[in-house]
Amino acid sequence: MRNPPRILVVDDNPTNLEVLQVRLNSQGYEVVTAVDGEDALVRARELEPDLVLLDVMMPKLDGISVLKELKRDTTLRFIPVILVTAKADTRDVVNGLEAGGDDYLTKPFEQAALVARVRSLLRIKELHDTVQLQAEQLKEQTEQLSSWNRLLEQRVADQLTEIERIGRLQRFLAPQVAHVIASSDAPESLLASHRREVTILFCDLRNFTAFTEASEPEEVMAVLREYHENVGELIFKYEGTLERFLGDGIMIVFNDPIPCADHTERAVRLALEMRDKVEELSKHWGRQGYALGFGIGIAAGYATLGQIGFEHRREYSAIGSVTNLASRLCDEARPGQILIAQRALSSIERSVKVSHVGDLNLKGFNRPIAAYDILSWCDEPQGADPSGIITSEGGASSQD
């Protein structure tokens, strides 16, 4: 806004014009005048004043019509307008405000009221002008930034290709694994449908359904957020492939899409760390009145793996009885238990202490499945007959 502010005073009465001009000049404002509505529009478009004092009752074109024209003009619509009426006619006031007027005065008016309204609306105009100036500056800066970006497009295009690959992969792979795949010559081939031996880990929270039924949604989301953040870091630490989140349930695949010889060991070590971490969380949740436990199932075997979905949403999935077995073992696990099937145990039995929980009749399997509870990891191999299997009754078996 210019300094001093320019005010357009519109009135068909010369005396009123002179009075307003003298009073406003005394406050340091620049005053220009118009004698009717048509003259007002010409002067407004020519001078673009900071404020308009507009008489309502005028010949040729009344004040309401002038106001409507001003508000239709994109260059003038934000100029504040004070309507001046000869009497406190409610209809004039309502019509004027509905047409876009910002304030009104009735004749005769007091000097203090006039000055107060003028100052108030000029402050608003100054704020609007500041915002407009900042918007123009931002627009210029944006255009300049766009110009710089265009100069970098070629380099950025190459980087974006890799970032997009990594972004898709990081939904289910550890970051370091995603980078390996994205930087390969044929990353899509690694994610194509194929068959491979894998270790599957399923885990979920015990009593979660009862917890959700008795708790507010915000409490449930807070618990899930803590749970996912803590176990998610561990999954990536052991370079597991995060196949899916299903509420409190998580499925993790090892040995695919990047092969690793120690895939079952990684799964078991992950399971032990996850159990410890969730036990810590459970103590915290318990202090809030949430009775939640944690169970895990692990199985090894062959599965068919690859991408499923459609163009805008793809997931990496494993299909086969091994996934069902790990899921069923997870369902059977009591809080704090890590149940593992015999085939998975056989590859790491020299390094773990386990308890034989028995042969379980699992849904979807025609014969009982031998299951073991992993108690701890032993960094030193346990000898020729290593597993240290403890019977389900708690005594040491002949294999001890």
Query: What rounded mean pLDDT belongs to the chain?
Result: 84
For residue 296, the model assigns a pLDDT of: 97
Q: Could you tell me the domains of the chain?
A: 6-146 (3.40.50.2300), 153-184 (no CATH), 192-377 (3.30.70.1230)
Please determine, for residue 311, whether its predicted confidence score (pLDDT) is greater than 70.
Answer: no
Contact, 329 vs 201, CB < 8 A? no
Please determine, for residue 162, whether its predicted confidence score (pLDDT) is greater than 90.
Answer: no
**Which residues touch 26 (CB under 8 Å, ≥6 apart)?**
none
pLDDT digits (tens, 9 = 90+) for 336-384: 999 999 999 999 999 999 999 999 999 999 999 999 999 999 877 665 4
Gap between the Cα atoms of 215 and 227, Å rounded: 16
pLDDT digits (tens, 9 = 90+) for 176-226: 556 656 666 666 666 678 899 999 999 999 999 999 999 999 999 999 999
Range name among 154-163, 172-181, 267-276 with the lowest pLDDT average: 172-181
Q: Taking residues 154-177, what's their average pLDDT?
A: 63
For residue 189, the model assigns a pLDDT of: 65
Extract the tokens encoding 232. 């998610």
Choose among 159, 162, 200: nearest CA to 178: 162
Give the three-class secondary structure for 13: coil
Please determine, for residue 167, whether its predicted confidence score (pLDDT) is greater than 70.
Answer: no
The answer to whether the bond into 4 is cis (omega within 30° of 0) is yes
Please determine, for residue 309, whether its predicted confidence score (pLDDT) is greater than 80.
Answer: no
Q: How confident is the model at residue 391 (pLDDT cuts 50, 70, 90)?
A: very low
> What one-character DSSP code corresponds to residue 333?
P
For residue 239, the model assigns a pLDDT of: 87
Q: What are phi and psi of 99, to 5 degrees?
A: -80, -10
Adjacent-strand bridge partners of 249: 246
Q: How confident is the model at residue 266 (pLDDT cuts 50, 70, 90)?
A: very high
Choose among 360, 376, 340, 336: nearest CA to 206: 336
Please determine, for residue 156, whether its predicted confidence score (pLDDT) is greater than 80.
Answer: no
pLDDT digits (tens, 9 = 90+) for 104-148: 888 887 888 888 888 998 898 888 888 888 988 888 888 888 888
Q: Is the dihedral of CA 152, 158, 160, 163 positive or negative?
A: negative
For residue 114, the model assigns a pLDDT of: 86
Q: What percent of the chain has pLDDT over 70?
A: 84
Give the three-class secondary structure for 171: coil
Report in angstroms the alpha-carbon separations of 70 from 6, 34, 89, 111, 157: 16, 14, 22, 26, 48
For residue 384, the model assigns a pLDDT of: 43
**Which residues touch 80 (CB under 8 Å, ≥6 apart)?**
51, 52, 102, 103, 121, 122, 124, 125
pLDDT digits (tens, 9 = 90+) for 47-66: 999 999 998 888 888 888 99
Q: Taking residues 10-35, what's their average pLDDT?
A: 90
For residue 117, the model assigns a pLDDT of: 87
Long-range contacts of 33-37 (CB under 8 A, 24+ apart): 33/8, 33/9, 34/8, 34/9, 34/10, 35/10, 35/11, 36/10, 36/12, 36/60, 36/61, 37/10, 37/61, 37/62, 37/63, 37/65, 37/66
Gap between the Cα atoms of 318 and 305, Å rounded: 4
Please determine, for residue 84, whether its predicted confidence score (pLDDT) is greater than 60.
Answer: yes
> What one-character DSSP code corresponds to residue 350?
G
**Strands of the chain, DSSP E:** 6-10, 30-34, 51-55, 81-85, 103-106, 194-206, 241-246, 249-254, 293-310, 313-319, 338-341, 352-360, 369-377
CB-CB neighbours of 15 under 10 Å? 8
